[in-house]
């Protein structure tokens, strides 16, 4: 059993090396994680502006947004990545004048389409759920709704900052600057939503 598991992971590593999907997966994770956080930021700020005191509304809207983003990311990334991988495989077949349908290259292309789709679908859901945790706690009477707003906004900004740090590390540049830029984007969005709510 252990040998089979080891063989499975070795095959996956081979697929990732052949397809060079690492950079693409990182981009998918950060971009869609950013989308998840920003969507929840909009929902939370909007709910706070209208003085909503029902956490169930925020949790339901949040989970609905999570599901929509997850499904959209999953199928959108799968179809896009599958098309791109098939194009590359056919180009490789043409250059080699051979059929690669039963090769490791074909298996790798099929695998990374699913791999990229899973990352694309899960990342916005993960970051969005972080923002929902305080409102879930409010449903269990652990904290009050107004504290939940503050904690949720804080967690969302921390998530954005963490994504920025990750980007800075990838770029091998100033990670704090990247983190600050992400937080600035979140604060700008919050400000715009608050302004629209005041009109």
pLDDT tens-digit series, residues 154-175? 999 999 999 999 888 887 888 9
Query: Which whole number is the average pLDDT over 4-13?
Result: 75
- For residue 143, what is the DSSP state? S
Q: Which domain, by its residues, includes 79? A: 2-198
Q: Which two tokens stand for residue 66?
A: 């999570």
**Residue 90: band (very low, low, confident or very high) from pLDDT cuts 50, 70, 90:** confident
**Domains identified in the chain, total number:** 1
pTM of the model: 0.80
pLDDT tens profile 95-129: 777 766 666 667 777 787 788 888 888 888 899 99
Straight-line distance from the first to the last Cα atom of the chain, in angstroms, rounded to the nearest whole number: 64
* 29, HSE (Cβ side, Cα atoms, 13 Å): 15
Which among 88, 186, 82, 75 is positioned nearest to 120, based on CA atoms? 75
CA 108 to chain CA centroid, Å, is 23
């Amino acid at each position: 059993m252990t040998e089979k598991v080891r063989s499975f992971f070795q095959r996956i590593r081979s697929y990732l090396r052949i397809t060079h999907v690492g950079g693409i997966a990182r981009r998918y994770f950060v971009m869609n994680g950013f989308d998840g956080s920003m969507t929840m930021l909009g929902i939370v700020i909007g709910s706070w502006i209208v003085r909503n005191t029902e956490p169930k509304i925020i949790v339901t809207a949040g989970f609905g947004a999570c599901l929509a983003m997850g499904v959209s990311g999953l199928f959108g990334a799968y179809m896009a990545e599958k098309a791109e991988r098939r194009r590359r495989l056919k180009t490789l077949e043409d250059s080699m004048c051979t059929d690669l349908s039963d090769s490791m290259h074909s298996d790798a292309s099929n695998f990374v389409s699913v791999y990229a789709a899973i990352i694309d679908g899960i990342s916005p859901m993960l970051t969005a759920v972080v923002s929902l945790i305080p409102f879930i706690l409010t449903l269990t009477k652990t904290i009050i709704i107004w504290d939940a707003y503050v904690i949720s906004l804080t967690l969302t900004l921390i998530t954005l900052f963490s994504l920025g740090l990750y980007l800075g590390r990838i770029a091998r540049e100033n990670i704090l600057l990247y983190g600050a830029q992400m937080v600035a984007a979140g604060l700008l969005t919050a400000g715009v939503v608050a302004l629209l709510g005041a009109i």
